[in-house]
Structures are given as C-alpha cells and as structure tokens.
Amino acid sequence: MTDTRMIAAGMTGTLAQPGFGLVSAVDPVNHAVRVVVQPSGVETGWLPYAAMQVGSLRIACVPDIGTHVLVVHVEGDAEHGVAAVPVYDAVVMPPTSPATGKPAQPGEMLVMAGCGAPPSGDAATPGPTAQDAPWWHLTPDAIHSGAGNTTETLTSGGKAWAVGAVAMTLDGNGLSVTGGPITTDRDITAQGTVTGQTDVRAAGISGHAHTHPVTTAPGTTGAPQ
C-alpha cells in the first residue's frame, strides 16, 4: 500500500523554498536583479525585483548591490522566482529621522537618501553616508523634509522653512521671515500700512533722517516728525 504522506514529503523536498540572499547585480531598466542565495552561495539568473506600484502611477526603487532580499520561487519552481522584498539586518539598520531623532514609528513613513550602500564583497560595514542628502518623513502630525541645512515642515496650522539661521513661517497670522533680509527684483504692493521699525529707504534716501530744501528762506527743514 502506498503511503501518500511519504510521497508528499518527498515532493516537498524537491520544491524550491523561499530564502534570503544578497543582490549581486542590478538592471535598472528592467527593474531586475541577480541574487546570491544564502547559505549555498549560488547566484540566480535575472529575477524581477518587486515594485511598490505599477500602472498609471509607478514607483521605481532598485536596490544597491549587497542588499539583503527575500527570494520567493513561483509555484516552487527554482527557475522562476522574484526578489520579493528587501529586509534590514544587523549591518544595514533603519535610518534615523533628522526631524524626530528616531527611526520611523508605526503609522509613519521615512525616506532617506545617502545612507550608505550595503557592504559588498568582503566588506563588513556600509559605505560612507552623504551628509547633505535629501530626506522626507511623513508622520501623523506633520510632513517633514530637508536637505543639508535646509528643512521644511507642513502641519495643519501652517508651513515653516529654515535655511541655516534664516526662517520663514506661513500660518493664519500671515508670513513671517526672521534671520535675514528680503530681496526682490520686482515691485512690492501693500494694501495696508508698511511699517519700518528702524528706517524706510527709497533710492537710497532715508525716510527717517532725510531733509528738504527751503525755497522761501535759506537752509533746510528738520528731519521728519
């Protein structure tokens, strides 16, 4: 009598199982990769690298060589697989947000460039990071972004920008700029009052300290009152 359990167990042993590996080659045009499967060290052929979105909206983000990925074989066929998803490990850790000082928390999304490529070959540490690379952090309360010494924060109450010591805030009270001058090569029109706490100048002439000639008598007028 044939034991079907033994037959099933034998068939299971012949099917290719999901496994981890390291990306060994990347084809950005076809969004495909080769993977050195662990622990066997066997390199696959070109595999599709799973995408976040395809269709009228498309998101492309191919991995670096050395990225740790999960390889899934379609219907257990070792010749037909897909690099399904990248995974963090003990060497390549999740990035820390410049806005919060923490990795992305549940309900958040953090995108950071320039984190340093995964180690490849005999290397044991990631590559150098880019200090001024851009980043974007979506949280339940705000959208943060930045690059180098430039940051931007959008909340339900307004939007704030900062470049070094210069900051600008747009909210329900209006637009505020601190830390630097405002320069434009076009006209400025105000429907209300323009107030200068120190001075107002037109064509280099001070509105605070300028004087006017006196046509009916020698001398000039005093400063504006």
What is the mean predicted confidence (pLDDT) over 54-75?
Answer: 92
Residue 224 lies in a domain: no
| C-alpha distance from residue 189 to each of 181, 186, 194, 197 (Å) | 17, 10, 10, 19
**What is the C-alpha separation between 140 and 98, in angstroms, rounded?**
16
Say if residue 141 is in the same domain as residue 129. yes
Do 170 and 95 lie in one domain? The reply is: yes
Residues 78 and 138 in one domain: no
Q: Are residues 59 and 81 in the same domain?
A: yes
Out of 6-15, 40-49, 79-88, least confident range: 6-15
Asked if residues 62 and 42 have their Cβ atoms less than 8 Å apart, the reply is no
* Cβ-Cβ contacts under 8 Å for 109 (sequence gap 6 or more): 137, 138
pTM (two decimals):
0.80
Is the domain of 61 the same as that of 94?
no
The answer on pLDDT for 102 being more than 60 is: yes
Question: Is it the case that residue 49 has pLDDT exceeding 80?
Answer: yes
Grade residue 16 by pLDDT with cuts at 50, 70 and 90: low
Nearest C-alpha neighbor of 122 from the set 19, 43, 22, 32: 22
DSSP class per residue in 74-142: GGG-TTSEEEEEE---SSSPPPPPTTTSSPPPTT-EEEES-S-PPP-TT--S-----TT-EEEEE-SS-
53 against 222, higher pLDDT? 53
138 and 70 within one domain: no
Average pLDDT over residues 152-176: 97
Mean pLDDT of the 44-71 span? 94
Q: What is the pLDDT averaged over residues 122-141?
A: 91
Same domain, 39 and 94: no
- Within this chain, do residues 62 and 102 fall inside the same structural domain, yes or no? no
Give the mean model confidence (pLDDT) for residues 190-204: 83
Overall number of domains in the chain: 2
Answer yes or no: is pLDDT of 38 > 60.
yes
Distance (Å, whole) CA 108 – CA 126:
25
| Position 198 in a domain | no
Same domain, 107 and 123: yes
Q: What share of the chain is helix, strand, coil (3-state, %, to 5)?
A: 5, 35, 60
Residue carrying structure tokens 């919060």: 100
Averaged pLDDT, 25-30: 97
Q: How confident is the model at residue 1, as a pLDDT?
A: 54
Residues 56, 138: Cα–Cα separation, whole Å:
23
The pLDDT value given to residue 125: 87
pLDDT at 11 > cutoff 80:
no
Residue 154 pLDDT class (50, 70, 90 cuts): very high
Instruction: Check whether residue 133 and residue 169 sit in a common domain.
Output: yes
In a domain, 78, yes or no: yes
Position 79: which residue type? E
Residue 102 shares a structural domain with residue 172: yes
Q: Is residue 205 part of a domain?
A: no
* Domain boundaries, position 160: 89-184
Are 172 and 101 found together in one domain? Answer: yes
CB 37 within 8 A of CB 71: yes
Q: Which amino acid is at 217?
A: A
